[in-house]
Amino acid sequence: MNIDQASPDVLPPSPPPPQAGPTADEKQWAMLAHLSALVGGLLTGWAGGWGVFVGPLAVWLLKKDTMPFVDDQGKEALNFNITVALVCVGLLLFSVITIGIGLIVAIPAWLVLCIAWLVATVVGALKASEGMAYRYPLTLRLVK
């Protein structure tokens, strides 16, 4: 029998279903990983802002084994906040070493860094809520 003459009842095998993206639950947890840094920063800003690590770290540790998208985005949020903290500490050390003269550079740099941190964190949360993996710019990938 010729292939062109095949019976209409015989259909070629259907392709496998497309790989599904993150579930709604994964999107929500990934968004929380990003936004928890903002909450942590607001709650601990008076104490140096160390809380920016707690939220992303907690979300990542809770969900890394069960939700691959949250594993990825939690690490990304944690790495970004570690990078920003290292830059802040570096600017502080620069100011101390220069006996305060470095504050002429450090204060404007802190302001720019603070605004960039806020914008990047919100963008990361929005992208995660859409199910898109977000990569922060200029981030050290310390947590793998």
Residue 34 confidence (pLDDT) above 60: yes
Percentage of residues of the chain with pLDDT beyond 90 = 72
List the domain boundaries for the chain: 27-129
How far apart CA 83 and CA 32 sit, in angstroms, is: 19
Q: What is the residue type of 45?
A: G
Mean confidence (pLDDT) of the chain: 88
Helix, coil or strand: residue 21: coil
Residue 51 confidence (pLDDT) above 70: yes
How far apart CA 82 and CA 12 sit, in angstroms, is: 53
Tell me which of 25 and 5 has the higher pLDDT.
25
Residue 117's pLDDT band, with cuts at 50, 70 and 90, is: very high
Measured torsion, CA atoms of residues 90, 94, 97, 102, in degrees rounded to the nearest 10: -160
pLDDT of residue 21: 85
Residue 44's pLDDT band, with cuts at 50, 70 and 90, is: confident
* CB of 84 closer than 8 Å to CB of 52: yes
- Dihedral class, residue 143 (left if φ above 0, else alpha if ψ from -120 to 50, else beta): beta
* CB of 84 closer than 8 Å to CB of 49: no
DSSP alpha helices (H): ranges in 11-133?
24-44, 54-63, 68-97, 103-129
pLDDT of residue 79: 96
pLDDT of residue 132: 95
